[in-house]
Structure 1
């Protein structure tokens, strides 16, 4: 007997490079996430979890006329038969399908607590019940008639649909959102009546453009209403490219009170904004004095939204109050549009409005043809059986004799009348009482009706024009079943430049910004007359002292070439030591602060690198919206100087690390928003040491080794062209003022 000794690794170790192994496995994970979780199918608008919920409820016969069942039962059916994931994720998807503030056309009729617009979560699945809505029935219509393909479930015990028949364009009607690996989708809801009208237009005019479709579908239609203030040009671009966004505002009215007072009543919320969190945010704005026009906020909502906003005083214009709040809070949001979907082949694609509608119509044609073929097969089978019955009626006596006397009546019937086995079995299974004269008339009537239906179905499947006409009729019937008024008002486009800036509502007070050498920043009220009296942490000292106002934006230049933007109103009080600047901006640990200036609209800054390159930058182009700042200079920043406007600066003076000095006109520098710039001074070795800008009439100043300011009356002796080497500067010149 031979004994085989197992190898130490069990024969399961495969040697391969780590990079290849990780790459292949991560790619498989990414594809699975994209196709099976995050992106919806363009044909029915569903992700797998939603499709499985719909199909499981259909199999449980939870139609609108049936009694509702516990959601726990539905979740169990979905998890056990179709979706092998956690019950929490399945129930969360089911709850969203039932929320009328999340779905424009809810697909689940929920009974019990399914959450609310305040952000409260739904009750546990053991307490809630559900069934399908009429809209969901339209999406499932035909699924038992071979309208779509099926595939094995995860355990090969059953089958599930690859896609639903989809009686209306659910993708655009209810929208979708999801995040995958390297891609995401965000599709807003629309009015199904408008979508079907747009489909009818495409059936009549396949060459219709997106502009033509927008005459019917002017924009999204959110379940919570609101006012769309995006320009039609921007929405058109989003519908054509599949990418863009739409700005959505809360709907509000002015309510008059006694003695000339008033209050604002918000009646509709922007989509996906939780009312409770919005109220908390507005209260924080009041408490932190960041919304000086808003006096109070309270919630008087019952079944309808009624959010009360009180102005600080009655002299404030309602429009000005709301414009400030739209800018400061989620009373206005921007819903992104990224129509990234899986096409009929399962490939991720970004589609425009017309492509999505076209894909839906193509799917409906496939469904129509498959249902027609399914019906043709059954009609032909029934006609075949009826033909056998007709033979019976013509030879009734002989048939009865054969059945009574022959030992093998089936074979005798087939041989005598040329019947098929199917017809013979059917005749033998027919009861004698069905062979009455009245039944013969019924059979003839049925035969005639089925023959006509078969001819019509065959004509339908052989004519593309008749198919599109039939689809149009089906869509019209669906439109009548689901039609509802538009909820989101298409308002006038609001020019972003016309928005009332939040700074306009911040009390304008003079401050002095104090930035220590170690990066602690604060704002002292008024002017600091004696900087020596300022106190800092042990080992720290004054770095920058900048006069400003609370309404100003501070531009902070860093040595890594980035410029950051900080609101002066957000700085800590000057009574303490302040707070670290690095908590307010994403400043690299190795980067140093070069300079800090208070932003002046339309002013300009001279940006210079240590390598001796520079340019003039408009300050308006340097404002950054993010904590990460804006990369302005390609290189290590040495200086960020304000170009004086009074008197107008017209010359630049530079000094290199080789102590050589050069003066040239400011006009030789280009004006640009970012980049490397042009060469300021030429060096054989070393780089730039200092730079300044000045007015020719006043002349430049410099600081000697003792810290004393020096005039430079003969600066013209160093005048030359930009990028020159320059010559030895005055004795003691190491730094400009």
Structure 2
């Protein structure tokens, strides 16, 4: 009979179970999310490892790849990890192994690699069949005591073997080597730190369990407490002490890391800049490509060339355009545009107690590590105690046997069941009787008895010590203190591996506009604005605008000279100011682009005027209905596309005038051809608002206004381009109070009603 194709328990019915899709998806997605959080992306706070790294360490221990032993092929290690502990792809395991060996990726490498393990340019390691590895001292610290019941073991994925749930972790790995990972709905990012500093902070915490985070952070460099991150690639952290402190208190924040550079004299007044350390996790080759791209795109006008002269050490040479360039400014412009300055986020999201994902502060992380060390100490002590008790039992049996050796020999030779007889005669335990029966003849020498007595006394004394340790929390912390001090000594700041690589400094203060200019090539342009709001920048300073072409039905509204490094300010009828970099304006080949593409401007608004930004000036803005105020030009600059609302106008009124303030009086003409002159002092200066009434109208509004100095008089142009100037005496009847109606314009005033 062939195999039945009907599933067991089937009577041929279809047995389809309806399942709520939402519920089914939720269950499955939650299971996936939890598995990612627990078993892939987040490190355990106690040993700082994710399961794949922990399994690599455990497998290397089983292969006996200690720092003083020979190397083994990485393929062998990966095979062991994959076959016994980690049912995933060999490439992902090898990648994790390689990273643990890279001294530019890991502050304290856990793997000692032999062969090509990749480099800081981002090149990959050789295939695992070519490379070899063994553990480093740091790895042995993490594993110390694992064979002494220091941690729990759990069955592996196929339940044939056992693997540790967490490593004993005598080294503060979670902070010393950092970690980063993206889980589902949460991520972690912990920078590397200096192990000696972490140990000092931990010792401080043992002595003062209630110390705030502030007390664990270094104020100077002498106290040896945590100063901040210590990246394997060095660099300089440019953040204030306060912001670093806040990051460690909350467990969230970030660090700005800059490359380390110095000026190298080339003789005869010329110099280059040499970069010797780049920020953490930045690929050098990619970084140089990026700088070269920016050079070609003329985004770094102060820089002439970039060369990579690195061998074992990093050496990037930046050649300035000329020796007159300010090196600080050159570097600021490079920092702004490239990864020579990068931000490393801090998000101390770890598996607290190995179970709960939680964002911890520096103090919490150290506290959990110390608690774990205490657990390990207690477990190892109990394990040793049990071992001693077993051995003492055996030694007790031996001593009885030695005292009655002839009788023992007789019993063994003559009795059928010597074990039972011995147990009955000398009240021996089963274990003791077994040990006596297993004694070798050569151990029956007289000397052995002395040895046994010595061992018995030694173990009894040790037993007493361990019992005292287990009975006193104070003694336990004292022992942990001693252990942490040992680690601090081993990886102290005076050792090659332990000395601090990253330093701290305040970012040099440079004027933002200087930096902005350093990133744009300075060239003369003419900004052209059309009536319909199209903008462009023609090369050079044009004197004749008659040659400019426009779209049909459009014409020139205004044009003015500028430099590509200037900011262009545009004022609209809605009372808004927009800021556009002259270098961002479309070139003069076509008709340009409508302003609405460049900034977010409402459709019902038009351009009133545009000009080159000068932060020293003040502007007078006025609406059609005659309201206005003075605003400092520095306050109208907008940093976003949305612009900055400065004048509040409600329809049907709109902003119609914006002039630079000069002099001490204002002359204003209404559409009713009435002129009013009054002192500028009567107009308030403010950052935003509706303003005050400048002139009163029955109907109509402002036609034109002009600020002038009374000493030189008020002048205007007539239709034939002749200049008329009226002095204070001649203007007497038009001088009045602000917000009055004024009088009809004097004779000879232009028909257009404008000052020209």
Range class of TM-score, shorter chain: 0.7 to 0.9
Cα RMSD for the two superposed structures: 4.6
Residue in 2 that maps onto 1:111: 114
CA positional deviation for 1:181: 2.4
**Contact 2:572-2:655 within 8 A present in 1 as well:** no
**For the residues of structure 2 that align with 1:649 and 1:459, how far apart are their CA atoms?**
94
**For the residues of structure 1 that align with 2:65 and 2:59, how far apart are their CA atoms?**
9
Paired positions, count: 668
1:256 matched to 2:261: no
CA positional deviation for 1:228: 2.2
Residue in 2 that maps onto 1:724: none
**Contact 1:43-1:363 within 8 A present in 2 as well:** yes
The more displaced of 53-62 and 572-581 is 572-581
**For the residues of structure 2 that align with 1:125 and 1:581, how far apart are their CA atoms?**
58
CA positional deviation for 1:543: 11
Residue in 2 that maps onto 1:275: 284
**Contact 2:303-2:319 within 8 A present in 1 as well:** yes
Match of 1:480 among 480, 486, 489: 489
**Contact 2:533-2:606 within 8 A present in 1 as well:** no
Structure-2 change in CA distance of 1:426 and 1:297 (3 Å): same
**For the residues of structure 2 that align with 1:642 and 1:381, how far apart are their CA atoms?**
99
The more displaced of 214-223 and 373-382 is 214-223
1:84 matched to 2:98: no
Note the alpha carbon deviations across 1:688-716, whole angstroms, 9 max, x for none. Answer: xxx99997989xxxxxxxxxxxxxx9x96
Structure-2 change in CA distance of 1:678 and 1:312 (3 Å): closer
Instruction: Return 5+ residue gaps in structure 1 as ranges.
Output: 609-615, 651-665, 681-690, 699-712, 719-737
Note the alpha carbon deviations across 1:150-186, whole angstroms, 9 max, x for none. Answer: 2222232322222111111111111111222222222
Match of 2:20 among 15, 19, 22: 15
CA positional deviation for 1:287: 2.1
Structure-2 change in CA distance of 1:342 and 1:277 (3 Å): same
Structure-2 change in CA distance of 1:361 and 1:519 (3 Å): farther
Residue in 2 that maps onto 1:723: none
Alignment of 1:637-716 (within 5 A): 646=661
**For the residues of structure 2 that align with 1:75 and 1:693, how far apart are their CA atoms?**
84
Note the alpha carbon deviations across 1:475-505, whole angstroms, 9 max, x for none. Answer: 2222222233534353431266656743232
CA positional deviation for 1:352: 1.7
**For the residues of structure 2 that align with 1:368 and 1:632, how far apart are their CA atoms?**
66
Find the residue that maps to 2:358 and give its secondary structure. Answer: strand
Alignment of 1:614-653 (within 5 A): 623-624=638-639, 646=661
Residue in 1 that maps onto 2:50: 47
Structure-2 change in CA distance of 1:670 and 1:59 (3 Å): farther
Structure-2 change in CA distance of 1:489 and 1:60 (3 Å): closer
**For the residues of structure 1 that align with 2:604 and 2:133, how far apart are their CA atoms?**
61
1:503 matched to 2:491: no
Residue in 2 that maps onto 1:370: 379
The more displaced of 354-363 and 205-214 is 205-214
Residue in 1 that maps onto 2:247: 238
**For the residues of structure 1 that align with 2:256 and 2:143, how far apart are their CA atoms?**
34
1:4 matched to 2:11: yes
Match of 1:156 among 156, 159, 169: 159
Residue in 1 that maps onto 2:134: 131
CA positional deviation for 1:138: 0.7
Match of 1:492 among 497, 501, 505: 505
Structure-2 change in CA distance of 1:697 and 1:314 (3 Å): closer
**For the residues of structure 2 that align with 1:225 and 1:103, how far apart are their CA atoms?**
12
**For the residues of structure 1 that align with 2:308 and 2:247, how far apart are their CA atoms?**
35
Match of 1:94 among 94, 97, 121: 97
Note the alpha carbon deviations across 1:190-214, whole angstroms, 9 max, x for none. Answer: 1111111111122222233333322
**Contact 2:255-2:343 within 8 A present in 1 as well:** yes
**Contact 1:644-1:694 within 8 A present in 2 as well:** no
**Contact 2:299-2:521 within 8 A present in 1 as well:** no
**Contact 1:250-1:266 within 8 A present in 2 as well:** yes
**Contact 2:36-2:184 within 8 A present in 1 as well:** yes
**For the residues of structure 1 that align with 2:614 and 2:87, how far apart are their CA atoms?**
60
1:465 matched to 2:474: yes
Match of 2:587 among 573, 578, 596: 573
1:146 matched to 2:146: no
**Contact 1:209-1:354 within 8 A present in 2 as well:** yes
**Contact 2:46-2:354 within 8 A present in 1 as well:** no
**For the residues of structure 2 that align with 1:350 and 1:498, how far apart are their CA atoms?**
37
**Contact 2:191-2:231 within 8 A present in 1 as well:** yes
**For the residues of structure 2 that align with 1:158 and 1:515, how far apart are their CA atoms?**
78
**For the residues of structure 1 that align with 2:279 and 2:325, how far apart are their CA atoms?**
24
**For the residues of structure 2 that align with 1:98 and 1:69, how far apart are their CA atoms?**
14
Note the alpha carbon deviations across 1:575-620, whole angstroms, 9 max, x for none. Answer: 25668999989x89x9999769676659899999xxxxxxx99986
Residue in 2 that maps onto 1:419: 428
Structure-2 change in CA distance of 1:540 and 1:85 (3 Å): farther
The more displaced of 489-498 and 83-92 is 489-498
Match of 2:72 among 69, 73, 76: 69
Find the residue that maps to 1:253 and give its secondary structure. Answer: strand
Structure-2 change in CA distance of 1:325 and 1:103 (3 Å): same
**Contact 1:174-1:188 within 8 A present in 2 as well:** yes
**For the residues of structure 2 that align with 1:494 and 1:480, how far apart are their CA atoms?**
33
Find the residue that maps to 2:82 and give its secondary structure. Answer: helix
CA positional deviation for 1:522: 5.1
**Contact 1:221-1:487 within 8 A present in 2 as well:** yes
Larger Rg: 2
**For the residues of structure 2 that align with 1:591 and 1:123, how far apart are their CA atoms?**
60
The more displaced of 60-69 and 574-583 is 574-583
